[in-house]
Amino acid sequence: MGILGRYGDFFPLTPRTPRLDLGEGSTPLVPLRALGEELGVDLWGKFEGANPTGSFKDRGMVLAVSKAMEEGARGVICASTGNTSASAAAYAACGGLSCTVLLPSGNVAKGKVAQALIYGATVAAVRGNFDRALELARAMAERRGYRIVNSVNPFRLRGQMSGAFEICDQLGDAPDWLAIPVGNAGNVTAYWAGFVAYMRRRRSSRVPVMMGFQAQGACPMVTGQFTDHPETVATAIRIGRPVNARRARWAVMMSGGAFEAVEDREILRAQMDLARCGLFAEPASCTPLAGLRKLAREGRLPRGIRVVMVLTGNGLKDVETPLRSAGSVVELEDSLETLEGVIP
Ligand SMILES: *Cc1c(COP(=O)(O)O)cnc(C)c1O
């Protein structure tokens, strides 16, 4: 059962709200003992790549599209660096709505574009950056009576709170730290709201310290300066003007946490390390591990605490980077002897 069925009492559902359900949520929370020992903490990974479209975006999208249907919208539209469009297209298909996706030109991982297309969305690449694509989406939404399902849509963040509920349910309580990648800064805001809401209803006893991680080339939450030219291999967080910057800053401050930046090279190393534990996450999702490493190196990671990393998206969405960096396929004569020569 998806999140509307499992956590419906936390969401603004009415008898007229359709309960869309692709079985989103209920993602594995995986203990990472070896990596944890190395860092001196009790480390866990929340594998959001196991969601129906392969990212946490499904948690917000199921509610956003259900509410759009309740309100009589004819379709949904979004500007997206990839995962939002994949998710919007899937839930629109599930609900029988039309979906339009505006991609900023340049790096969008191929798997995500394939998803939007196969789910039946109209996909357009806009010559211009993300902000321009969002402006166009807003104008068109107005003209056509479509609902915008970018992270400006309030239902997205409400649905994403369910990630925090699940972590509390899976561990029996909130962890000491939550380590999470930050792009538009919606998810970090939603997780904080989720932990607070759960504690208020006495379904957990405390809230975690929120640690937000960005890529060095796209880290406006760290520098305090917005930028028009964000650059990083982690395309899902290649964002220079986070839509939810103010609320995210407040959330992280209230929790006693901080924002930190990591180099692309550290992100790719973290991706490899997680894969060697059996978890294939996309680059953006690996910034928390890279960041925890950096904090440990600098003596800023308290020993023995319980840390949950949110592994936001599935590595299969973007296979080009690992195909370049993770070694290559061995070409072989058809004989047992040559095979003997290459296996360990
Ligand atoms: C959207 C996304 C993020 C960033 O989340 P924000 O809410 O924009 O901060 C991180 N990782 C992945 C895989 C994403 O799809």
* CB of 57 closer than 6 angstroms to any ligand 1 atom: yes
**Do you know the residue count of the chain?**
344
Confirm whether 340 is domain-assigned. Answer: no
Confirm whether 344 is domain-assigned. Answer: no
Confidence of residue 328 (pLDDT cuts 50, 70, 90): confident
In the sheet that holds 98-104, the strands lie side by side as 122-126, 98-104, 75-79, 146-148
Q: At what angle do helices 110-118 and 83-95 cross, to 10 degrees?
A: 10
Percent of the chain with pLDDT strictly greater than 70: 99
pLDDT score of 167 more than 70: yes
Position 110 scores a pLDDT of 87
Position 130 scores a pLDDT of 76
What CA–CA distance (Å, rounded) separates 234 from 145? 33
Confirm whether 343 is domain-assigned. Answer: no
Strand partners, 45: 30, 309
Confidence of residue 108 (pLDDT cuts 50, 70, 90): confident
Annotated binding residues for pyridoxal 5'-phosphate, as ranges?
83, 183-187, 312
Confirm whether 334 is domain-assigned. Answer: no
**266 and 182 fall within a common domain:** yes
* CB of 285 closer than 6 angstroms to any ligand 1 atom: yes
Q: Whose CA is nearest to atom 2 of ligand 1?
A: 236
> Among 156, 191, 312, 317, which residue has the most ligand 1 atoms within 8 Å of its CB, making it the best to mutate?
312
Percent of the chain with pLDDT strictly greater than 90: 82
**165 and 269 fall within a common domain:** yes
Distances (CA, A) of 238 to 82, 107, 183: 11, 9, 7
185 Cα nearest atom in ligand 1: 9
pLDDT score of 106 more than 80: no
**45 and 64 fall within a common domain:** no
36 against 131, higher pLDDT: 36
**69 and 88 fall within a common domain:** yes
- Tens-digit pLDDT profile for residues 246-291: 999 999 999 999 999 999 999 999 999 999 999 999 999 999 999 9
Confirm whether 296 is domain-assigned. Answer: yes
DSSP string, 262-325: E-HHHHHHHHHHHHTTT--B-GGGGHHHHHHHHHHHTT-S-TT-EEEEEE-BBGGG--HHHHHH
**215 and 293 fall within a common domain:** yes
Confidence of residue 107 (pLDDT cuts 50, 70, 90): low
Mean pLDDT, the chain, whole residue set: 95
Residue the block writes with tokens 């605490």: 305
Tokens (6 digits) for 325: 């960096």
284 Cα nearest atom in ligand 1: 11
CA of 58 from ligand 1 middle (Å) equals 11
**125 and 256 fall within a common domain:** no
- Tens-digit pLDDT profile for residues 29-68: 999 999 999 999 999 999 999 999 999 999 999 999 999 9
DSSP string, 76-142: EEEE-SSHHHHHHHHHHHHHT-EEEEEEESS---HHHHHHHHHTT-EEEEESS-HHHHHHHHHHHHH
Confirm whether 62 is domain-assigned. Answer: yes
48 Cα nearest atom in ligand 1: 13
Confirm whether 246 is domain-assigned. Answer: yes
Query: What CATH number is associated with residue 108?
Result: 3.40.50.1100
Position 151 scores a pLDDT of 81
**144 and 164 fall within a common domain:** no
What is the extent of the structural domain holding 234?
A: 3-55+155-324
Strand partners, 148: 77
pLDDT score of 165 more than 90: yes
> Among 237, 267, 279, 287, which residue has the most ligand 1 atoms within 8 Å of its CB, making it the best to mutate?
237
Position 212 scores a pLDDT of 98
Number of domains in the chain: 2
Domain boundary among 153, 179, 214: 153
**160 and 13 fall within a common domain:** yes
Q: Whose CA is nearest to atom 8 of ligand 1?
A: 184
pLDDT score of 134 more than 90: no
Structural contact between residues 246 and 220, judged by C-beta atoms closer than 8 angstroms: no
Average pLDDT over residues 135-143: 92
* CB of 220 closer than 6 angstroms to any ligand 1 atom: no
What CA–CA distance (Å, rounded) separates 260 from 267? 13
CA of 70 from ligand 1 middle (Å) equals 26
**188 and 290 fall within a common domain:** yes
CA of 236 from ligand 1 middle (Å) equals 6
- Tens-digit pLDDT profile for residues 206-258: 999 999 999 999 999 999 999 988 999 998 999 999 999 999 999 999 999 99
**38 and 93 fall within a common domain:** no
**29 and 144 fall within a common domain:** no
**213 and 96 fall within a common domain:** no
Residue 255 sits at the vertex; the CA angle it makes with 252 and 258, to the nearest 5 degrees, is 45
* CB of 314 closer than 6 angstroms to any ligand 1 atom: no
- 214 Cβ partners below 8 Å, 6+ apart? 181, 182, 183, 220, 221, 222, 237, 259, 260, 261, 262, 287
- Tens-digit pLDDT profile for residues 71-84: 999 999 999 878 99
**Rounded to the nearest 5°, which phi and psi values hold at 34?**
-65, -50
CA of 312 from ligand 1 middle (Å) equals 7
In the sheet that holds 209-215, the strands lie side by side as 29-31, 42-47, 306-311, 177-181, 209-215, 258-262
Position 155 scores a pLDDT of 97
* CB of 312 closer than 6 angstroms to any ligand 1 atom: yes
* CB of 160 closer than 6 angstroms to any ligand 1 atom: no
Structural contact between residues 68 and 91, judged by C-beta atoms closer than 8 angstroms: no
Annotated binding residues, as ranges?
83, 183-187, 312
Confirm whether 197 is domain-assigned. Answer: yes
